[in-house]
Amino acid sequence: MYLVLDGPPAPEAFPHRELREALLGYFREHQKLVETEALSLLTARPEPLRHARQILDGPGASVPIITRGMVELVYTAPAAAPAPALAPAEPSPVPAYALIAEGYAPGPPGRQPLEAYGALFASRFRTLSRILRGRSDLPHPVPVKEIRQHEGRSAVVGMLRSLRQTAEKKHLILEVEDETGCVELLLPRDRPAAKQSWMPDEVVGLELEVPRDRNRIPVVKEVHRPEVPIHRDTHRSDRARRVLFLSDLHLGSRSFLSESWAELVAFLREEGPAPEIAREIAHVVIAGDLVDGIGIYPNQERDLAIHDIFDQYVELGRRLRELPARLNLVVIPGNHDAVCPAEPQPALAAEVRAGLPENVRTVGNPTTCALEGVVVEAYHGRSFDDLIPAIPGASYSRPTEVMKSMLAMRHLAPIYGGRTPLAPLPRDGLVIDPVPDILVTGHAHTYGVDRYRGVLLLNASTWQAETDYQKMRNITAVPARAAVVNLADLSVLTLDFARNRPAVVADGAA
Ligand SMILES: [Fe+2]
């Protein structure tokens, strides 16, 4: 869809969802992220397209994030002389916190499951194929049903439906589909891509050699994954601010590490080691499994200290109140929390949220937000349970390796029908878009810091000691570590609270 913003704006021509997409696309073209509330306000007011352009010319000219405040500003500016009033004399300050997108958005009620899942996968394909079609190294892709009309070099973007090996020569046969049809393609076994791991339903761009003879199968020459672009906009804060990343508190469990937690509280109150670092921490992100929950695994009741789910959240509130009230706490749910387990998960319900302190922002799993302008995507990490068995060499002890695959596929949970239940929503909120500056997960109960194409990868640690259930599943916990990220350069400081005295154990270079 092309938007001509110089012409007379006609927002009524767009249905609501398309208008949102069009506005997002317009801001994206100008390398701007949009706060969710800003987008909602813009779509609800008259002439959103004209005002979007005014924002870019005015208050949003020199900042990476378009905020609700900027939208309010352009709608309240005097209509007679909008241009001078909105001249970018003073750049708007970058907000300390901006919600960019939650993965969860409720769908229309009453859809049949088949229709609903069809819409989900169509959404995944649309978003990922848009990313691939924008790639300069992928020749212009053609629809699957037109492949035979393009002899010689050609390309398609398709979703992988099945994969099999030929009996004799062990070449791969990929069956891929798009909205127009399905086709079988041959990937010779000596190609590097034939040795990579493939995920069902992943969306890829394929360079092809299409033979003139229609009895011969088209051959895959090159495989392109959606990937993180090497050249892209990254965001850093110009303020001396830091974020603390935690995960998997599991409050209510007998094995919650209360002594280590007390050390963490002392550190944040500037009463422990490195108070000068603690002073600069403005945000805390907690990547799910806030409480241990009820009935999550067999015989869990033996491991529980608090047997009532509401009481577990009361305890969560009490623990979070121990942290300094000046902190901005951003929490997402995980598979142990009392929300629908299908992903994307909504934020905690009002009944359990009520007991949390006022400085807590409860958002869905996953969620993308900007902290001091730095884009953070938080995802609990349930899909590790499906991806680790599917990726050769992957393990719970090195979850950041799996996160690299997520980024290459630009999807947090690509496997359908495994251990990660997927919610049949009209928009696939598990696609990674935009690319964050920091991707954080939990779930593995270990700890990892890594980087991939400029994205900082964190697997935040747990505050629960190793349980018998984890031992049975061969998971070695690395508890009570905290990652402190400097938002000015994305350098990482790791604090280990598992010892008697907390210690700085690693300092990751930017
Ligand atoms: Fe957990």
CATH of residue 368's domain is: 3.60.21.50
Residues 373 and 490 in one domain: yes
What is the Å distance from ligand 1's center to 360 Cα? 20
CATH of the domain at 59: 1.10.8.60
What is the Å distance from ligand 1's center to 42 Cα? 38
pLDDT on residue 500: 59
> How many separate helices (H) and strands (E) can be counted in the chain?
13, 20
pLDDT on residue 78: 64
Spatial neighbors of 492 by CB under 8 A, at least 6 apart, are: 449, 456, 458, 483, 484, 485, 486, 506, 507, 508
What is the Å distance from ligand 1's center to 113 Cα? 29
CATH of the domain at 150: 2.40.50.140
What distance in Å separates the CA atoms of residue 248 and residue 480, rounded to the nearest whole number?
10
Residue 406 lies in a domain: no
C-alpha atoms less than 13 angstroms from C-alpha of 66 in its C-beta half-sphere: 32
**Above 60 in pLDDT, residue 1?**
no
What is the Å distance from ligand 1's center to 248 Cα? 5
What distance in Å separates the CA atoms of residue 304 and residue 306, rounded to the nearest whole number?
5
What is the Å distance from ligand 1's center to 383 Cα? 12
pLDDT on residue 81: 46
Q: What is the band of 357 on the pLDDT scale with cuts at 50, 70, 90?
A: very high
**Above 50 in pLDDT, residue 245?**
yes
What is the Å distance from ligand 1's center to 393 Cα? 22
pLDDT on residue 467: 81
Query: Which of 224, 256, 279 corresponds to the end of one domain?
Result: 224
Cβ atoms of 103 and 365 closer than 8 Å: yes
Residues with CB under 5 A from ligand 1 (ion): 248, 289
Token code pair at residue 406: 């997520």
Q: What is the band of 504 on the pLDDT scale with cuts at 50, 70, 90?
A: low
Q: Residue 184's closest CA among 202, 166, 170, 168?
A: 166
Residue 48 lies in a domain: yes
Residues 285 and 322 in one domain: yes
The continuous run of DSSP H or E covering 44 comes out as: helix 36-44
> What is the separation, in whole angstroms, between the first and last Cα of the chain?
39
Q: What is the band of 382 on the pLDDT scale with cuts at 50, 70, 90?
A: very high
Residue 470 lies in a domain: yes
Residues 298 and 373 in one domain: yes
Task: Give the single-character DSSP code of 434.
Answer: S
pLDDT in tens, 204-237: 999 999 999 988 999 999 999 999 998 888 999 9
Task: Say which residue the tokens 């209510």 belong to.
Answer: 252
Considering only residues 444 and 106, tell me which one the structure prediction assigns the higher pLDDT: 444
pLDDT on residue 62: 79
Give the global pTM.
0.89
What is the Å distance from ligand 1's center to 487 Cα? 26
**Above 70 in pLDDT, residue 260?**
yes
pLDDT on residue 489: 95
pLDDT in tens, 136-195: 888 889 999 999 888 899 999 999 999 999 999 999 999 999 999 999 999 999 999 998
Task: Give the single-character DSSP code of 396.
Answer: T
What is the Å distance from ligand 1's center to 124 Cα? 27
Number of domains in the chain: 3
What is the Å distance from ligand 1's center to 419 Cα? 15
pLDDT > 90 in the chain, percent: 64
Residues 196 and 334 in one domain: no
pLDDT on residue 33: 87
Considering only residues 247 and 25, tell me which one the structure prediction assigns the higher pLDDT: 247
What is the Å distance from ligand 1's center to 283 Cα? 21
**Above 70 in pLDDT, residue 302?**
yes
The continuous run of DSSP H or E covering 262 comes out as: helix 258-268
Cβ atoms of 464 and 355 closer than 8 Å: no
What distance in Å separates the CA atoms of residue 199 and residue 396, rounded to the nearest whole number?
18
What is the Å distance from ligand 1's center to 322 Cα? 21
Residues 284 and 373 in one domain: yes
**Above 60 in pLDDT, residue 5?**
no
pLDDT on residue 13: 43
Residue 314 lies in a domain: yes
Task: Give the single-character DSSP code of 435.
Answer: P
SS3 percent helix, strand, coil of the chain, rounded to 5, is 30, 25, 45
Considering only residues 497 and 19, tell me which one the structure prediction assigns the higher pLDDT: 497
Residues 52 and 167 in one domain: no
Cβ atoms of 234 and 437 closer than 8 Å: yes
Average pLDDT over all residues of the chain: 89
Residue 402 lies in a domain: no
What is the Å distance from ligand 1's center to 289 Cα? 5
What is the Å distance from ligand 1's center to 461 Cα? 9
Query: Which of 34, 69, 95 corresponds to the end of one domain?
Result: 95
What is the Å distance from ligand 1's center to 161 Cα? 32
DSSP 455-476: EEEEE--BSBPPPHHHHHTT--
**Above 80 in pLDDT, residue 353?**
yes
Residue range(s) defining the domain that contains residue 48: 11-95
Residues 30 and 160 in one domain: no
The continuous run of DSSP H or E covering 330 comes out as: strand 328-332
For residue 57, how many other CB atoms are within 10 A of its CB? 15
pLDDT on residue 310: 96
Query: Which of 197, 224, 251 corresponds to the end of one domain?
Result: 224
What distance in Å separates the CA atoms of residue 56 and residue 163, rounded to the nearest whole number?
46
Measured CA to CA in angstroms, residue 322 lies from 252, 280, 338, 357, 412 at distances of 16, 18, 23, 10, 32
Residues 257 and 372 in one domain: yes
What is the Å distance from ligand 1's center to 347 Cα? 17
What is the Å distance from ligand 1's center to 336 Cα? 7
Residues 300 and 178 in one domain: no
What is the Å distance from ligand 1's center to 260 Cα? 17
Range with top average pLDDT, 100-114, 119-133, 325-339:
325-339
What is the Å distance from ligand 1's center to 320 Cα? 18
Cβ atoms of 11 and 47 closer than 8 Å: yes
Residues 163 and 197 in one domain: yes
pLDDT on residue 505: 63
What is the Å distance from ligand 1's center to 359 Cα? 23
pLDDT > 70 in the chain, percent: 92
pLDDT on residue 376: 98
Residues 35 and 63 in one domain: yes
Measured CA to CA in angstroms, residue 480 lies from 233, 256, 275, 368, 483 at distances of 33, 10, 18, 25, 10
The continuous run of DSSP H or E covering 402 comes out as: helix 399-409
What is the Å distance from ligand 1's center to 62 Cα? 40
Residues 473 and 329 in one domain: yes
What is the Å distance from ligand 1's center to 478 Cα? 12
Residue 386 lies in a domain: no
What is the Å distance from ligand 1's center to 445 Cα? 6
What is the Å distance from ligand 1's center to 471 Cα? 13
Residue 424 lies in a domain: no
User: Residue 322, SS3?
Assistant: coil
Q: Residue 308's closest CA among 289, 288, 294, 291?
A: 294
What is the Å distance from ligand 1's center to 271 Cα? 28
Spatial neighbors of 295 by CB under 8 A, at least 6 apart, are: none
**Above 60 in pLDDT, residue 264?**
yes
What is the Å distance from ligand 1's center to 462 Cα? 7
